[in-house]
């Protein structure tokens, strides 16, 4: 079993820490309804998630009404989607099993923790505030913060700066190819979970350094380097 010798750990949000597909599906179906389009099943929308809201909206409309929106229409659709999303943010989301336990053990071991997500920055902290681990992160990098989104290295690099560590010694934990590519671009190790949102892609095909079934397994996969503290 690989143990990662790292100084900090960064987590993707949607699909890694929290199952947010309920929120995403509700907002997408409300947006479709605005245009008189038929709703999509939650599991159908789950398979569309993973490459950002414009991509989700384009594919959802293609499935629901038979054709994808053009760029101008898509911009208006995304704006309406975000209005619906903000109105009920977090009401239909739940942490995955083992997340609270795993994060708690990592904090107790003294590891600085970060969230690195492509979610629009204005939604990240309000969504975190609805969880049991809202105040457990030492750095939060949203999709608007770094000048580029994952799979670019910039978000993880910014998290490392905010944590005061070398980005190559930050373990990235995610659920998608974007997370793996971001870590690779930054020269950092990466672990993935088998759940989450990958547009149907097999987790083994992501070529991460390791797969953990639950974040409660993660403390056993990192080398103990720090003295527990009371943060």
Pairing of strands 190-192, 170-174: parallel
**CA-based nearest residue to 169, from 177, 155, 157, 182:** 157
Give the helix ranges, DSSP H, for the chain: 21-34, 42-46, 53-65, 71-87, 99-108, 121-128, 154-163, 177-186
Q: Are residues 157 and 182 in the same domain?
A: yes
> Residues 136, 85, 62, CA angle at the centre, nearest 5°?
125
For residues 114 and 221, give the distance between their C-alpha atoms in angstroms, rounded to a whole number: 17
Report whether 58 contacts 64 (CB < 8 A). Answer: no
Confidence bin at 96 (pLDDT 50/70/90): very high
Q: Are residues 48 and 118 in the same domain?
A: no
12 as an active site residue: the answer is yes
The string of pLDDT tens digits covering residues 105-142 is 999 999 999 999 999 999 999 999 999 999 999 999 99
pLDDT tops 50 at residue 231: no
Domain-terminating residue out of 87, 112, 141? 87
Q: Are residues 55 and 117 in the same domain?
A: no
Domain-terminating residue out of 87, 111, 131? 87
Q: Are residues 34 and 53 in the same domain?
A: yes
Q: Are residues 43 and 132 in the same domain?
A: no
Q: Are residues 83 and 39 in the same domain?
A: yes
pLDDT of residue 230: 40
Domain-terminating residue out of 72, 87, 102? 87
Q: Are residues 210 and 106 in the same domain?
A: yes
For residues 11 and 33, give the distance between their C-alpha atoms in angstroms, rounded to a whole number: 33
Q: Is residue 103 a part of any domain in this protein?
A: yes
The string of pLDDT tens digits covering residues 20-53 is 999 999 999 999 999 999 999 999 999 999 888 9
**CA-based nearest residue to 167, from 152, 151, 183, 150:** 183
Identify the active-site residue in 7, 12, 14, 216.
12
pLDDT of residue 157: 99
pLDDT of residue 224: 76
Confidence bin at 1 (pLDDT 50/70/90): low
Q: Are residues 12 and 29 in the same domain?
A: no
Q: Are residues 73 and 132 in the same domain?
A: no
The string of pLDDT tens digits covering residues 168-222 is 999 999 999 999 999 999 999 999 999 999 877 889 999 999 999 999 999 999 9
pLDDT of residue 225: 62
Q: Is residue 29 a part of any domain in this protein?
A: yes
**CA-based nearest residue to 114, from 64, 57, 41, 164:** 164
Q: What's the CATH code of the domain at 184?
A: 3.40.50.1000
- The pTM assigned to this predicted structure is 0.92
Q: Is residue 123 a part of any domain in this protein?
A: yes
pLDDT tops 60 at residue 227: no
Q: Are residues 105 and 213 in the same domain?
A: yes
Say how many domains are in the chain. 2
Report whether 64 contacts 37 (CB < 8 A). Answer: yes
Question: What domain range includes position 80?
Answer: 21-87
pLDDT of residue 223: 86
Share of the chain above pLDDT 90, in %: 90
Secondary structure (3-state) at 148: coil
Q: Are residues 77 and 103 in the same domain?
A: no
Q: Is residue 81 a part of any domain in this protein?
A: yes
Q: What's the CATH code of the domain at 44?
A: 1.10.150.240
Q: Are residues 100 and 195 in the same domain?
A: yes
For residues 118 and 56, give the distance between their C-alpha atoms in angstroms, rounded to a whole number: 14
Confidence bin at 67 (pLDDT 50/70/90): very high
What number is the average pLDDT over the span 160-171?
A: 98
């Amino acid at each position: 079993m690989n143990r990662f010798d790292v100084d900090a750990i960064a987590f993707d949000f949607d699909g890694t820490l929290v199952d947010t597909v309920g929120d995403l599906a509700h907002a997408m179906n409300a947006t479709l309804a605005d245009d008189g389009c038929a709703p999509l099943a939650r599991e159908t929308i789950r398979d569309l998630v993973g490459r950002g809201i414009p991509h989700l909206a384009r594919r959802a409309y293609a499935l629901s009404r038979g054709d994808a929106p053009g760029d101008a229409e898509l911009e208006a659709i995304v704006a309406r989607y975000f209005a619906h999303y903000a109105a009920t943010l977090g009401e239909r989301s739940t942490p995955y099993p083992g997340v609270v336990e795993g994060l708690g053990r990592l904090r107790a071991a003294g590891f600085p923790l970060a969230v690195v997500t492509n979610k629009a920055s204005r939604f990240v902290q309000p969504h975190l505030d609805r969880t049991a681990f809202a105040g457990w992160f030492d750095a939060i990098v949203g999709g608007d913060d770094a000048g580029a989104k994952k799979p670019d290295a910039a978000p993880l690099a910014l998290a490392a700066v905010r944590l005061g560590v070398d980005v190559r010694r930050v373990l990235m934990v995610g659920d998608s190819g974007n997370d793996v590519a971001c870590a690779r671009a930054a020269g950092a190790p990466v672990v993935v979970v088998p759940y989450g949102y990958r547009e149907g892609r097999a987790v083994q095909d992501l070529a991460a350094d390791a797969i953990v079934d639950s974040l409660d397994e993660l403390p056993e996969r990192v080398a103990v380097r720090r003295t527990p503290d009371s943060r």
